[in-house]
Amino acid sequence: MDGALILIQILNGLQLGVLLFLLAAGLTLVFGIMDFINLAHGAFYMLGAFICATLAIWFDSFLIAVLLAVPITFVIGVVVELGVARQLYQADHLEQILATFGLILIADTLVQMIWGPQGMTFALPEVLNGQVQLLYGVEFPVYRVLIISVGLLVALALYLVVSHTRTGMLIRAGASNRRMVEALGVDIRMLFTLVFAAGAAMAGLAGLMIAPITEASIGMGNEILIVAFVVIVIGGIGSVQGAFFGAMLVGLIDTLGRAFLDDLLGLVLSHQAAETSAPAISAMLIYILMVVILYFRPQGLFGVRAS
Amino acid sequence: MTKTFIRCALVLAAFALPGTGLAQSVKIGFVTTLTTGAAVIGNDMRDAVNLAVEDLNGKMGDLDIDVIFADDGFKPETGKQVTDKLVKSDDVDFVAGYIWSHVLLASQKSVLSAEKFLISANAGPSQLAGKLCHRDFFSTSWQNDQTPMAMGAVLSQKGIGKLYVMAPNYAAGKNMIAGVERTFKGEIVGKDLTKWGKDAQLDFSAELAKAKASGAEAIFVFYPGKAGGAFMKQYEQAGLANKLPLYTVFTVDAISLPKLQQANMKAVLGSLTTGFWGPGLKTPQNQQFVSGFREKYGRYPSFYAAQSYDSIFLINSAVEAVGGNLRDRDGMRAAMEKAAFPSVRGSFSYGANHFPIQNFYLLEVVADGDGNWTTEIRSTVLENHQDTYVADCQL
Domains of chain A, first to last: 13-296 (1.10.3470)
Q: What sign results for the dihedral spanned by CA atoms B43, B45, B49, B54?
A: positive
The answer to whether B302 contacts chain A (CB < 8 Å) is no
| A 209-228: CB under 8 A from B | 210, 212-215, 217-220, 223, 226
**Phi then psi dihedrals of residue B394, to 5 deg:** -100, 75
From CA B269, how far away is CA B275, in angstroms rounded?
Answer: 17
From CA B59, how far away is CA B55, in angstroms rounded?
Answer: 9
With CA atoms as reference, the chain B residue closest to A257 would be B206
* pLDDT tens column, A74-85: 999 999 999 999
Residues in chain A: 307
Question: B37 and A217: CB-CB below 8 Å?
Answer: yes
- What residues in chain B have per-residue pLDDT under 50? 1, 12, 15-21
Residue A66 has pLDDT above 60, yes or no: yes
A and B: number of Cβ contacts within 8 A: 112
Interface probe for B, chosen from A5, A57, A258, A287 (most Cβ of B below 10 Å), is A258
Under the banding of pLDDT at 50, 70 and 90, the label for residue A305 is low
User: With contacts defined as CB-CB under 8 Å, which chain B residues touch A10?
Assistant: none
Q: Are A175 and B271 spatial neighbours (Cβ–Cβ below 8 Å)?
A: no
The bridge status of strand B63-71 relative to strand B25-32 is parallel
To the nearest whole number, what is the mean pLDDT of chain A?
89
User: With contacts defined as CB-CB under 8 Å, which chain B residues touch A129?
Assistant: 236-237
Residue A158 has pLDDT above 70, yes or no: yes
The answer to whether B266 contacts chain A (CB < 8 Å) is no
Q: What sign results for the dihedral spanned by CA atoms A84, A89, A95, A101?
A: positive
| B 150-209: CB under 8 A from A | 169, 191-195, 198-199, 201-203, 205-207, 209
CB atoms within 10 A of CB A135: 10
The answer to whether A9 contacts chain B (CB < 8 Å) is yes
The answer to whether B39 contacts chain A (CB < 8 Å) is yes
- Residue A115 pairs with which residues in a beta bridge? none
pLDDT for residue B19: 41
pTM of the full structure: 0.81
- CA distances B18 to A79, B5, B15, B114, Å, are 57, 21, 7, 20
Question: A122 and B169: CB-CB below 8 Å?
Answer: no
The bridge status of strand B187-194 relative to strand B246-248 is unpaired
From CA A27, how far away is CA A202, in angstroms rounded?
Answer: 10
Over its C-alpha atoms, chain A yields an Rg (Å, rounded) of: 20
Q: Are A22 and A205 spatial neighbours (Cβ–Cβ below 8 Å)?
A: yes
pLDDT for residue A32: 81
The answer to whether B238 contacts chain A (CB < 8 Å) is yes
Question: A279 and B194: CB-CB below 8 Å?
Answer: yes
CB nearest to B40's CB, from A117, A220, A275: A117
CB atoms within 10 A of CB A127: 10
Helices and strands per DSSP (H, E), number in chain B? 13, 14
The answer to whether A238 contacts chain B (CB < 8 Å) is no
- CA distances A210 to A41, A65, A249, B118, B378, Å, are 16, 14, 19, 40, 36
Domains and CATH numbers, chain B: 11-142+281-354 (3.40.50.2300), 146-275+360-391 (3.40.50.2300)
CB nearest to B230's CB, from A123, A215, A226: A215
Taking every pair of C-alpha atoms in chain A, what is the biggest distance, in angstroms? 66
Which region among A139-148, A174-183, B91-100, B116-125 has the lowest average model confidence (pLDDT)?
A174-183
Instruction: State how far residue B355 is from chain A, nearest Cα, in angstroms.
Output: 28
Question: A119 and B226: CB-CB below 8 Å?
Answer: yes
Question: B259 and A4: CB-CB below 8 Å?
Answer: no
From CA A185, how far away is CA B280, in angstroms rounded?
Answer: 74
pLDDT for residue B188: 93
Residue A200: strand, helix, or coil: helix
Question: B37 and A258: CB-CB below 8 Å?
Answer: no
User: With contacts defined as CB-CB under 8 Å, which chain B residues touch A275?
Assistant: 191, 193
Instruction: State how far residue A304 is from chain B, nearest Cα, in angstroms.
Output: 31
